[in-house]
Amino acid sequence: MTIGSITGSAAVRAFRHRNYRLFFAGQGISLVGSWMQAVAQAWLVLTLTNDPLILGIVAAAQWTPVLILGLFGGLIADTLPKRWTLVVCEATLAALALILGVLTLAGMVQVWMILVLAVLLGCVNAIEMPVRQAFAVEMVGREDVVNAVILNSALFNSARVIGPAVAGLTIAATNTGVAFLINGASFLAVIVGLLMMRDAELHSPPPIRRPHTVREVMASVGEGVAYVRRTPIVLYSVLIVGLAATIGMNFQVTIPPFARATLGGDAADFGFLMTATGLGSVAAALWLASRRRPAPWLIPSGAALLGAALILVAILPRIAVALPALTLAGFGAIGMAATGNTTIQTVVPDELRGRVMSVYTTVFAGSTPIGAIFAGAIASAANPVVALGVGGVGTLAVGVVGLLWLRRNREVADLTLREAPAPGSFRDAAHGLEGAEGEPRRRPGTATP
């Protein structure tokens, strides 16, 4: 099968672009390592402390910088060359993973060290995430950006299937430090892919004027926030995804103690439970990849499915129920998040892309500090089952309210579906999505997640 025959499929249109194929291959290897580290770090913290609240604090330490600095990361995405910014970010992430691996294998690692490294990781992610999100359109152009975003989501969640399972088996057979070292080495693949790209084939937008004063920086960042605030479907997408992520998407905090304390399992069991969420996520991403346009109703529907699945796990806390239920949870979570991402990407103007996507990633990823500590505190004070149940009820409520709002404001969804540009006409449609006062009407984003 040739590359031409593969890229001819509507579901993988973004593969027509050589730069995107390089990016996809490098990310595929690196993301497996990143998921290995996520599982290994959670298990290491739980082993050192046996306290789910500390798990929440570590997650909060990792994502608080995104909450604080994420909007400025979007400004960087709009002013600096994205490819070279990503090279620096990926190299820094590799160094942090290798340091944690060496400390763990040497038997020197302590919780405060993990916290410090988590904060540094969060600082890098505050820049890397919006830059990577905004870079998609430069690799494939507007006509294929929705497909590229969905394929990125499919890739991310395919790694979510493989990484946790490999991490669980690696930890059981060797040491958590080995998983960290593998992750550090995996970043080499994405760095090489970025370095092999051709600048002439990038669809780079004209650079915006770089701000030179604090006032100019704040005004530039404010443009992205203002666009989100005055564009109904973008604001809707950000709010639903942000609330659902805060309340229900705390798997790294709730699933480790659930596997260990409730089910009496080990690192391998934890890995397989996380793999189950990944299987559902991949299924959702592949299904979305076959769609030509985003469907806003999938955002609250995904949140509702996520919540219902978590409630099922809480009601019937056994492995035979948890595996299929978490698969449904993964499907709902990515159906929600990826649709929110693509809905935003469809309408945001190129010159605001980095800043608007930084709002999305700040809310989506930045919700983790609040949600992680909340879920960790409940799991520590009561038990992991209660934490899962509370998260499920809250997320289900967000989904139901979101569906009701969308039903009462059908013109928002109808305009998105009617005027979202088909491949080849993104720019014209984007200019056509104007409100009564001339403001743009909508647009999507993706996680890292």
Residue type, 435: G
Q: In the numeric block, which tokens belong to residue 376?
A: 């960790």
Alpha helices, H only, 106-144? 111-140
- How many helices (H) and strands (E) the chain has is answered by 18, 0
pLDDT at 426: 30
Instruction: Report how far residue 242's alpha carbon sits from residue 366's, in angstroms, rounded to the nearest whole number.
Output: 9
CA atoms within 13 A on the CB side of 357: 38
Which 8-state DSSP code applies to residue 445? -
pLDDT at 207: 58
pLDDT at 391: 94
Would you say 104 and 180 are in contact if contact means Cβ atoms under 8 Å apart? yes
Would you say 190 and 27 are in contact if contact means Cβ atoms under 8 Å apart? yes
* Residues whose CB is less than 8 angstroms from the CB of residue 445 and which lie 6 or more positions away in sequence, other chains included: 133, 149, 237, 340, 341, 344, 345, 356, 357, 360, 361, 364
pLDDT at 428: 31
pLDDT at 411: 65
DSSP character string of 357-421: HHHHHHHHHHTHHHHHHHHHHHHHHS-HHHHHHHHHHHHHHHHHHHHHHHHHTHHHHHHHHHHSP
Strand partners, 434: 440
pLDDT at 412: 62
Give the domain 11-200+218-432 fold: Growth Hormone; Chain: A; (1.20.1250)
SS3 56: helix
Q: How confident is the prediction along the chain (449 residues), in pLDDT tens digits per residue?
A: 444 444 445 667 889 899 999 999 999 999 999 989 988 998 999 889 988 889 889 988 888 887 787 777 767 767 778 889 999 999 999 999 999 999 999 999 999 999 999 999 989 988 888 788 778 888 988 778 778 877 887 788 788 778 888 888 898 888 899 999 999 999 999 999 999 998 888 876 665 566 666 677 677 777 888 888 888 888 888 899 999 989 998 887 888 889 888 888 888 888 889 889 888 988 887 787 766 666 788 899 999 999 999 999 999 999 999 999 999 999 999 889 888 888 887 777 777 777 787 788 778 776 777 888 888 899 888 899 999 999 999 999 999 999 998 888 776 655 554 444 333 333 332 222 223 233 333 332 334 34
pLDDT at 201: 86
**Phi, psi of 175, rounded to the nearest 5 degrees:** -160, 150
Q: In the numeric block, which tokens belong to residue 173?
A: 């057979």
pLDDT at 148: 84
**Phi, psi of 434, rounded to the nearest 5 degrees:** -115, 140
Listed by start position, the domains of the chain span 11-200+218-432
Q: What is the pLDDT of residues 375-432, one digit of tens each?
A: 889 988 889 999 999 999 999 999 999 999 888 877 665 555 444 433 333 333 222 2
Q: In the numeric block, which tokens belong to residue 19?
A: 């730069």
pLDDT at 179: 94
Instruction: Report how far residue 281's alpha carbon sits from residue 273's, in angstroms, rounded to the nearest whole number.
Output: 13
Would you say 421 and 428 are in contact if contact means Cβ atoms under 8 Å apart? yes
**Phi, psi of 168, rounded to the nearest 5 degrees:** -60, -45
pLDDT at 307: 96
